[in-house]
Chain A
């Protein structure tokens, strides 16, 4: 009855191009931030590792091992909240432009399923953050793998991993807050987000999250669903 039905037969293969286009838009929004945050996080990681090499230079490798074993030092504490900040800002750079002047209406008007659209946007951010984090983690990994036994290497990495998981959680939670259409709810979401993020920073000692890490990672990934809830509320017309 309507022409809309007839000319859309080639929809399947074009979906890939649409996904590419979605990523393209996200890339334009975040490319400078992505490069800057990756560089900065790498620089801070490098600074921590430089400290480690200076300890070896001035006090010797034995001292390094000794403080790691006896005093639970991991030498990367400086990085604790940086992945969190990186994730939070990634979401801000991605989703604040969408919410300014209700641009999300444009995005959701594209002939692409709504929730898949948000999922694609979140996937882009997740992948970008993973690159940022992997650069930092790889630096830590390469450095400590060369300098200390695998037990201490694992200790450093396992101590730092929850911080990077927190970064992803911060990303999903900030996306949830940004996409939320009403201010009242947005503030409530911020409180919940702050509470959730606190869970990642309770470690009284190194490797405190070893048992919880798989569950926590799953929980972190589930947090991506919250963004869908905000879009659902946007679509039903919730507003201030």
Chain B
């Protein structure tokens, strides 16, 4: 068995009659930061909900630290940090109260880590979280997870509602922490640029299936954006290794992992009227859009 901290096997889920995904399997290895990428409705939140035990999949099972989530020993949760979409916390508490509340639940509680982060916020310990800005709240939520000091962090859309400064702060703090302490992180975000700075691996979800799971470096090294000029009315290439070919007037575009010679061979074989084929390295966001399509 590989040293996967998270292991999901053959997940299938429907909302009512609508299929979210079928037979989805993936694993998250120890010490890696893995980002789950997908357009709205592909099941990112569903996956997070299943992983945090708030949704029972129609079939299949998820294991964290080797335990089935549905029957997990409550103690195992001491070792899982959960950040809920929008940095939700008990806003009716002050930053001092919330620390006092959480501490008894976690044997490795690191009070100093929490207060170190809080000191940077310049807020009084008695200030209620509800009266803080969204950015400050994100720091509270992060501080609590850092104090909890779990081996696995599950973060649902950590960038929601944060301005760029706080986003950067959050990412840098988290990445440094995770790498220094060999933490495993599973996260989603709707801002893909953020992910690029943070994650080691990514899973791209398409409707109903996993499009790919790869280290980000490998992905960006191999995926290429191809642009070309259509010289006449003609067909666009059709090949499962060519992603989302499109043409606006006479400029064509698609993404592929294939080297240029291979691409040319396919275009020639399919009699695509093209000229000026160029390939380019792209960033994660462009790669994501290119591979999953704009719609």
* Contact between A and B in the complex (any CB pair below 8 Å): yes
Could you tell me the distance in whole angstroms from the C-beta of B77 to the nearest C-beta in chain A? 4
A237 lies within 8 A of B56 (CB): yes
Chain A 111-145 residues near chain B, CB threshold 8 A: 111-114
Report the bound CA distance from A235 to B78 in whole Å.
Answer: 18
Question: In the complex, which residues of chain A have a beta carbon less than 8 angstroms from the beta carbon of B90?
Answer: 25, 97, 103, 106
Report if A111-B77 is in contact (Cβ < 8 Å); known contacts: A7-B108, A25-B101, A29-B92. yes
The yes or no answer to A218 lying at the interface (CB within 8 A) is no
Interface locus among A16-24, A161-169, A205-213: A16-24
The yes or no answer to B104 lying at the interface (CB within 8 A) is yes
A237 lies within 8 A of B75 (CB): no
Question: In the complex, which residues of chain B have a beta carbon less than 8 angstroms from the beta carbon of A10?
Answer: 107
A24 lies within 8 A of B52 (CB): no
Report the bound CA distance from A89 to B84 in whole Å.
Answer: 27
Find the B residue at minimum CB distance from A16. B104
Category for how many chain A residues contact B = 20 to 34
Find the B residue at minimum CB distance from A30. B92
Cross-interface CB contact of B105 among A2, A110, A234, A235, cutoff 8 Å: A110
Report the bound CA distance from A1 to B107 in whole Å.
Answer: 19
Report if A2-B56 is in contact (Cβ < 8 Å); known contacts: A103-B90, A111-B74, A114-B74. no
The yes or no answer to B65 lying at the interface (CB within 8 A) is yes
The yes or no answer to A109 lying at the interface (CB within 8 A) is yes
Known: A4-B151, A28-B92. 18 other contacts (CB 8 A): A2-B79, A4-B76, A8-B75, A10-B107, A14-B107, A18-B104, A21-B105, A24-B100, A28-B93, A28-B101, A29-B92, A105-B52, A105-B84, A110-B74, A110-B77, A111-B76, A111-B105, A237-B55
Instruction: Show 26 A/B contacts (Cβ-Cβ < 8 Å), sorted by A.
Output: A2-B79, A3-B151, A4-B75, A4-B79, A4-B151, A7-B107, A8-B75, A8-B78, A8-B107, A10-B107, A11-B75, A17-B104, A103-B88, A103-B89, A105-B52, A105-B54, A105-B82, A106-B82, A106-B90, A111-B78, A111-B105, A235-B54, A236-B55, A236-B56, A237-B49, A237-B54
* Interface set of B (CB-CB < 8 Å, partner A): 49, 52-56, 65-66, 74-80, 82, 84, 86, 88-90, 92-93, 97, 100-108, 151
